[in-house]
Amino acid sequence: RSVNIVAFGNERDGFSEDNQQPSLIWSYLGRSALISQIDSSLSASHFGSPVFTEYQACVFGNVRLVVHDCPVWDIFASDWYTSCRLIGGADIIVIKYSVNDKTSFQELKDSYVPMVKKALNHCSVPVIISAIGARKNAVPCTCPLCTSDRRSCVTTSEGVQLAKELGATYLELHTLNDFYIQKYFGGVLEYFMIQSLNQKSSEKLKKRKKVQKGHRVQPPQLEQPEKMPILKGEASHYNRDLHNLLCGCQCADVAFYPEDLSTVVEAHKVILCSVSPLFMLLFGVKSPTDIPDASILQMAQSLFTVEAGAASATAPHGAPPCVLPVRVVVKDSVFCSSLPDILHFIYSGAFQWERLEEDVKKKLRDAEKTEQVLEKVKCILKTPGKLNLVKDCRSHQIKQLYNTSLRLFFNTPILADVIFKIQGATVPAHRAVLVARCEVMAAMFNGNYLEANSALVPVYGVSKDTFLSFLEYLYTDSCCPASILQAMSLLICAEMYQVMRLQHICELYIITQLQSMPSRELASTSLSIVSLLKKAKFHNSDCLSTWLLHFIATNYLIFSQKPEFQELSVEERNFVEMHRWPSNLYLKQLADYRNYIHSQKCHCTVM
């Protein structure tokens, strides 16, 4: 047997210098003759969080007493879930306040009492309101800093009115001595303890009689099915992939030089053109008539010179043999010195503007030159008609330019340097994007394979639509399968090229679609879940195959009636039988109950 008490409030005057006096609860536990075996080791422990101090002791000899004391109302409000849970399980509630702290009392009355009433939710839990302290009638200070009502006392009538609102018992404890603690407060508290124990004993006796009275067979309880494994999505590494492409200089087809040709910075046309109309103009993707913004044309002419048809003496590392790198001379030497930082900014997603500012400042160490370089970067990244050349251009503005920029070059021959041949059709692509986003293709185009020196690459084992969806993911970092079967085909393609994040996306899509399918549709669908399971296992999709086995077991009554159920292996069948829902035990109990209901022994109690 046990009694649970929850206490709220601070009995000390918040402006008194005597902060060493013991609390009401601790004083009662230490002085009451009925209390024994106080567990001091738990007196400083906390229930779930540092909101409640927990005390445990024995009362009336063998009754376990558990007290949770919350001295600060702000903490009570901040952990509302724990507070409601403790109030719901409380047998007695004690609310304390100091009669010399009118501000705290007013806050208790206006803010926290409604919260306590809401938590009680019309429960018949006894509440004790304890007004603690002797009222101080000294004349308050007259200085401007002390004219507030903080030293005003809480009157007896105010305390009684508060008790009426909560249906509580009101006590005034002028001091925490033996009389007030043991006889007055302790007497009321112990009365409510006895009432609570009597009520619990009565409820327990009623329940026992009810169990003894009813010998009828009860309907079996259907337990919830086992929780199926949860698949967690993988974070995107799209920007990191493109940044690594710049660092590795694979498939570079642009070489930037200063006017003295002393250094070289390599890059990729498709990446640059995807974020900047200026680079589109520079590399012939757009003509001057396609760009209405004159500032972009002027910037391109004043900043860069493209040596058409010219190749550097040494081809950039990783460039395809069939593609000659474009040599671009940067006329502005200050801009050219900051070009590596600018390219890192673009390849990292073009949204870390503040970091670019810091890098350029650190390199140039000249505020005027730094501002000029940053203004040119803003002009290069400007989208005509959408983003004006302003000084307060920030990361969130530039990020909008880059989110879907590579989609412009998906499945188009513009700047394409490789063509896939699949099912009699051709699909253009860009080696730089493929190498950055897919390790298998990086090895294929940079290793000793035929594809490394071929502009036409055949693809086998997947359909054209599936391969296009795969390429779309590489370019845009997103995919939207039209059906479960298409998602499975895309999963197989992703496993073939070892793109694990796309494989996880397809797994989540299949699971989401199956989970949302009603039982009636699941029973009538021609989609073979067992076939999906076999494919998932064959293509190393362990998470999906495990989930599908649980899905079949959870919907056992549906799948056991389908012919495909016989295609499960012995091991899979054993797993399904072990985890089936509803279980064999429940079905047997249900059959027994139905037999009992329809037997002659069962009669209508009304008739």
More confident call, 40 vs 195:
195
Which residue matches tokens 């909101």? 51
Specify the pLDDT at position 15.
52
Q: Give the model's confidence band at 19: pLDDT under 50 very low, under 70 low, under 90 confident, else very high.
A: low
Considering the chain, what is the average pLDDT of its residues? Answer: 82
Per residue in 438-487, pLDDT (tens digit) is 999 999 988 778 877 888 999 999 999 999 999 999 999 988 899 999 99
More confident call, 455 vs 214:
455
Q: CA 459, 461, 462, 464 torsion: positive or negative?
A: positive
pTM over 0.85? The answer is: no
Alpha-carbon span 547 to 511, nearest angstrom = 8
Q: Domains of the chain (ranges plus CATH)?
A: 2-40+48-136+152-204 (3.40.50.300), 249-309+323-384 (3.30.710), 396-478 (3.30.710.10), 513-606 (no CATH)
Would the pLDDT of 148 be above 80? no
Q: Which amino acid is at 243?
A: H
Lowest mean pLDDT among 248-252, 392-396, 430-434, 558-562: 392-396
Would the pLDDT of 151 be above 90? no
Q: Give the model's confidence band at 180: pLDDT under 50 very low, under 70 low, under 90 confident, else very high.
A: confident
Q: Give the model's confidence band at 299: pLDDT under 50 very low, under 70 low, under 90 confident, else very high.
A: very high
- Average confidence (pLDDT) over 423-430: 95
Would the pLDDT of 33 be above 80? no
Contact in structure between 419 and 427 (CB atoms under 8 Å): yes
Specify the pLDDT at position 398.
47
Alpha-carbon span 470 to 459, nearest angstrom = 12
Lowest mean pLDDT among 163-172, 224-233, 343-352: 224-233
- Average confidence (pLDDT) over 89-105: 87
- At residue 190, the 3 state secondary structure works out as helix
- Average confidence (pLDDT) over 134-156: 62
Contact in structure between 337 and 363 (CB atoms under 8 Å): yes
Side-chain-side CA neighbours of residue 543 (13 Å):
17
What is the 8-class DSSP label of residue 89?
T
Specify the pLDDT at position 76.
67
Specify the pLDDT at position 391.
41
Specify the pLDDT at position 415.
93
3-class SS letters over 429-441: ECHHHHHHHCHHH
Residue length of the chain: 607
Would the pLDDT of 395 be above 50? no
Specify the pLDDT at position 282.
92
Alpha-carbon span 497 to 470, nearest angstrom = 10
Alpha-carbon span 423 to 575, nearest angstrom = 40
Specify the pLDDT at position 113.
85
